[in-house]
Amino acid sequence: MVLTKSVSGCRCFRLPLFLLLISFTYSQSLAQTPAEFFKKNCASCHTIGGGRLTGPDLKDVSKRQSRDWLVKWLLDPEGVLKSGDPYAVKMQKESRGAVMTRAPGITGEMANALLDLIAAESKLEKSQFAGLQISNRPLLPEDIDEGRALFMGGKPLKNGAPACISCHTVNSMESIFGGGRLGPNLTRAYARLQGRKGLSSWLSAPPGLTMTPIFSKYPLDAEEILPLVAFLKKETEMDKPVQSTAMINFLLFGLGGAVLLLVLFDLIWNKRFRGVRKAMIEKTYEGFNS
Ligand code: HEC
Ligand code: HEC
């Protein structure tokens, strides 16, 4: 009795549990091969020989920069950018302002191993990191509907991740359903992550502190990515262009309306003028005749 009470009320379990968790994650990161590390932490933004995603294609990157610079970059990209390094600043401009953040758990040793891996993969005809094969088929209206259902939770995500709406919203849904505030509004995510290819690979292994732990455990199914992309593309398209066409329509209707009114006034006025004149002339004639 006394024992159970003291055990359940004891906080002393927390520290060992915490240490166990730490050592577990630590041993996990030690056990990770560079390829696994790359796949988990880099492939969502970079290919090797598959073209640009959010970040530049890393093929032959060691021919563009020295090993020292690259290691420094991998260990502290934000610091290098902040220091005003011209190469980094130019690179960021080319990435439309996207920022690379330090990969969780990266060490100097891992950074060097990753650069060795990138150099080796750059020599291959086709690297295993040339990017995922994203279907090129046209996006259909059904894809948009399915994506909306996945986003809203009407259709559960296959591998058990929570629906996007629990942390995100988009403009078309916000007024009706609200949505989560933990993550950013995704109305312009399709544009921000550079379209179909960028967004697809982003979703295949979402980086970021909040999404990585959830989606590396409960990843999106390949079949779910295309509909989600279709839905988010539609959201981006509905955002700006609609507003500007609405503005143009308003202006055109306004202008058209004003012209129509002028013409109408002119007609009425003319008629009235003629009417008055006619009567006057007739009166004059009457005078002559009598
Ligand atoms: C969130 C997206 C993102 C992730 C994740 C990411 N990067 Fe980057 N990376 C970028 C962007 C964007 C740039 C261009 C510089 C900038 O805008 O910050 C870049 C630049 C680089 C460069 C320099 C490229 C060149 O052309 O000189 C290297 C090397 C690099 N990243 C390696 C990595 C490695 C290795 C990882 C994984 C540990 C990684 N990146 C993870 C987005 C990312
Ligand atoms: C548990 C909360 C949570 C869930 C669930 C979630 N996200 Fe996120 N998401 C975030 C947060 C927070 C960020 C900001 C970056 C970070 O901290 O990870 C983010 C960032 C993003 C971004 C990048 C936005 C940008 O402009 O950079 C996209 C795209 C995205 N999420 C899509 C989705 C999609 C699609 C789903 C559903 C399949 C989803 N998210 C589910 C929390 C979540």
Q: Nearest ligand to the C-alpha of residue 63?
A: 1
Task: Report the alpha-carbon distance of residue 47 to residue 58 in Å, rounded.
Answer: 6
For the chain, which ranges sit under pLDDT 70?
A: 1-31, 132-135, 240-261, 265, 267-290
Residue the block writes with tokens 């990969």: 103
Instruction: Say what the pLDDT of residue 83 is.
Output: 97
* Angle (CA) 173 178 179, round 5°: 90
Identify the residue whose C-alpha is closest to ligand 1 atom 34: 42
Instruction: Say what the pLDDT of residue 290 is.
Output: 47
The rounded Å distance from CA 210 to ligand 2 centre is 7
Residue to mutate, 29, 46, 82, 194, ligand 1, most ligand atoms under 8 Å from C-beta = 46
Q: Hey, how many other C-beta atoms are within 10 angstroms of the C-beta on 278?
A: 10
Q: Are 112 and 71 in contact (CB under 8 A)?
A: yes
Task: Report the alpha-carbon distance of residue 59 to residue 46 in Å, rounded.
Answer: 10
Instruction: Say what the pLDDT of residue 204 is.
Output: 84
Identify the residue whose C-alpha is closest to ligand 2 atom 38: 164
Instruction: Say what the pLDDT of residue 118 is.
Output: 97
Residue to mutate, 96, 100, 199, ligand 1, most ligand atoms under 8 Å from C-beta = 100
At a CB cut-off of 8 Å and minimum separation 6, what does 261 contact? none
The rounded Å distance from CA 45 to ligand 1 centre is 7
Residue the block writes with tokens 């005809």: 125
Task: Report the alpha-carbon distance of residue 290 to residue 240 in Å, rounded.
Answer: 75
Task: Report the alpha-carbon distance of residue 46 to residue 202 in Å, rounded.
Answer: 10
Instruction: Say what the pLDDT of residue 278 is.
Output: 64
Instruction: Say what the pLDDT of residue 151 is.
Output: 97
Task: Report the alpha-carbon distance of residue 51 to residue 129 in Å, rounded.
Answer: 11
Q: Work out the burial of residue 47: count CB atoms within 10 Å of its CB; fewer than 13 is exposed, 13-18 middle, 19 or more buried.
A: buried
Q: Are 41 and 208 in contact (CB under 8 A)?
A: no
